[in-house]
Amino acid sequence: MSLYYDPEWIAQAGPSLKGQAEVLPVGDVATRRSRFADLFVRYQFTAPDDIDLQVLQAPADDGHVVEIFHLAPKALKEKLDKPSPAVLHIHGGGFIAVNAHNVLGSLVPLVRASQVPFFSVEYRWAPEHPYPTPLEDCWTGLQYLHAHTDALGIDPKRIAVMGESAGGGLAAGLALLARERSLSPPLAKQILIYPMLDDRTATDHSGGLSVFSLNDVFTGWQAYLGKNYLGEDVSPCAVPARVTDVAGLPELYLDVGQLDLFLHENLDFATKFLRAGIQTELHIYPGVIHAFQRWSPDARVVKQAIENRARAVHILYSK
């Protein structure tokens, strides 16, 4: 039987997806940025009454200042009798677009449900800032958390890294970089949401249902990797799917839609962790595409995904 959309999800998402139907040419970064800007204009963020928002500033080695958006439940300060877990969050945008403040609203349900503070990194975009700059910005954010654990009230042994799409790829790359640089204490967990992991992906297995095109994937990787795109000696920190040895990496949570272009690379990546005996939680949601929660937030499949993600974060309390 052929693949098909989740009926409830597509009934709600269909009208909003029409604006994404045009396939843009490979390399057209400017139009993609404009499309993202139009999409995210509806997500202007004001912190709700129960959530505290602070903007932190972390100096990078090259003199750039990396902004970090700190979201935490206001009640958390009153409840804590010991340091809290924390999540370093990395947003998506194909490596070329979207700002951290655009996605803060989508983090509020996770912060509320898990009662864990999030720190979302404003990393620099490719192609103006190709690899390794975006990843190093995320490393700067992680180093900032480690250097300010007392002031932030967080436990360095219970810091997870989380990201969506290209941010998921950066999160996976950051876990590899942390292993390479012997981060101590090591990351507690990586939470990858439909991550962009492999520059070699070139097939749409969805039968045309994926909505987002391979041209978008090619554009993002070309911008991020530059002349090293599809090269033989690319570091797994840049392209996490190329890792061959996952020993010593933190436990993995990963979820992805069955109609997502990244499905197969995500399955291959998770399988490496399963074979290595690393604690792994994997969810595949049938009938939905990349970034499926943005298009139909009230669908049952979306609510289930948000619940699973929040639980994956809350588990940090038991570590």
Query: Cβ neighbours of residue 60 under 8 Å, at least 6 residues apart?
Result: 66, 136, 137, 140
Question: Hey, what's the torsion of the CAs at 9, 14, 15, 21, to 10 degrees?
Answer: 140
In angstroms, the CA 74 to CA 50 distance is: 6
Work out the average pLDDT over 138-155: 97
Work out the average pLDDT over 292-311: 96
Lookup: tokens for 238: 């840049």
User: Residue 147: how many CB atoms within 10 A of its CB?
Assistant: 12
Rg (CA), the chain: 18
In angstroms, the CA 37 to CA 16 distance is: 15
Q: Chain-wide mean pLDDT for the chain?
A: 95
Work out the average pLDDT over 42-57: 88
pLDDT of residue 90: 98
Q: Which residue has the higher pLDDT, 195 or 39?
A: 195
E strands, 165-268, where?
189-193, 251-257
Supply the CATH classification number for the domain 7-318: 3.40.50.1820
Predicted confidence band of residue 155 (pLDDT cuts 50, 70, 90)? very high
pLDDT of residue 77: 64
Cα-based distances in Å from 265 to 5, 258, 261: 21, 12, 9
The sign of the CA dihedral 160, 305, 194, 93 is negative
Work out the average pLDDT over 257-275: 98
pLDDT of residue 22: 84
Predicted confidence band of residue 203 (pLDDT cuts 50, 70, 90)? very high
pLDDT by residue (tens digit) across 77-125? 656 678 999 999 999 999 999 999 999 999 999 999 999 999 999 999 9
In angstroms, the CA 173 to CA 91 distance is: 14
Predicted confidence band of residue 41 (pLDDT cuts 50, 70, 90)? low
Answer whether 120's CB lies under 8 Å from 106's CB. Answer: no
